[in-house]
Structures are given as C-alpha cells and as structure tokens.
Amino acid sequence: MNAAEYNIIVRQWAPHLLRFANSNMNDMDMAKDIVQDAFEVLWNNKENVEAAKARQYLFTVVYRKGIDVFRRDRHDVEISDVHLEIGATQSFEKTYTDKEFMRQAIGSLPETHRKLVLLRDLEGYDYKEIEEITGLSQSQVKVYLFRARKMLKETITRMETI
C-alpha cells in the first residue's frame, strides 16, 4: 500500500470506524483516539496490508483496541462512582429520540454481544468477516448474535414499559 492508497482509505473509512468505536465506547474522545491509533497501526504495517483488505484490518484493530480500553477501564471504576437513586415517587419521564433509545438499548448489552450487533447490523459485515475480525467461529458469532438480539428485544420491551 502506498501513501495515496492510504489517504483514500483514511477518507473512506474514518467515519465508519469512528461511529463503530463511539458506539462501543460511548465516549467520542476515546473513540477518536482509538481510530487514530488504528490508522497509525495501518500505516506502520502498510507493507504487509493490501489496500483491498484495509477495511477489515482497521475494524479488527479498532475492535481489539476497544477491548483493551474496556478491560483497562473496568478496573478503574469504583463502586462509589456509581450513583443510582430510585425513590418510590420518582417518575421516569424522560423522552428519548429513537436514536438515543436504541443507543441506550444497545449499550445495555454485554460487550461481546454489543460489538457483534454493531458489526453485523450497523456496519453490514457478513459472518465470515466478523469471524476474522473477532476471532470467534462463525457458529459462535451466530449464537451470540441470536442471544444479543433476544436480549435487545427484551431490553427494548422493558424500556418501552417504563
């Protein structure tokens, strides 16, 4: 891959990678950092990556970096940082746009399930590509997606009744 092909790939895939990373992280600054790191990794390995395979390579890097950040940050959260106040008379009168509603529902899924839903349903990857990105077998991908969609349906139903 040469510099011109690299620049085309950056322009073409940066918005998609940013959306994917932000959907997983729910932190735009962190998502930008992860995407920037992914493009740096691609540039450092430009001799070994074909331009035609760059999309898959980049999504794999973003996916794995997201897992690294999640694992690192998971240990930094203390119980005192979590505040949940539910009063007997408290009403849940919050209006959600469809986008916010879905983002919250998808965000409630376990990490692996959420990433698979985003790769398959939002980014449009097929099972083989998801297998290569995540390292899961196609059977695992299908099972996890089935479970994720089932959990998503239950979450949406529960959220709609509140």
For the segment 11-20, what is each residue's pLDDT rounded down to a tens digit? 999 999 998 8
pLDDT at residue number 74: 56
**Pair of tokens at residue 2:** 């040469």
pLDDT at residue number 101: 72
For the segment 23-68, what is each residue's pLDDT rounded down to a tens digit? 877 788 888 999 999 999 999 998 998 888 898 899 889 888 887 7
Model pTM above 0.75? no
- Cα 115 to Cα 7, 36, 79, 162: the distances in Å are 27, 19, 25, 26
For the segment 144-161, what is each residue's pLDDT rounded down to a tens digit? 999 988 888 888 777 766
**Pair of tokens at residue 19:** 């959306």
Q: What is the mean pLDDT of the chain?
A: 78
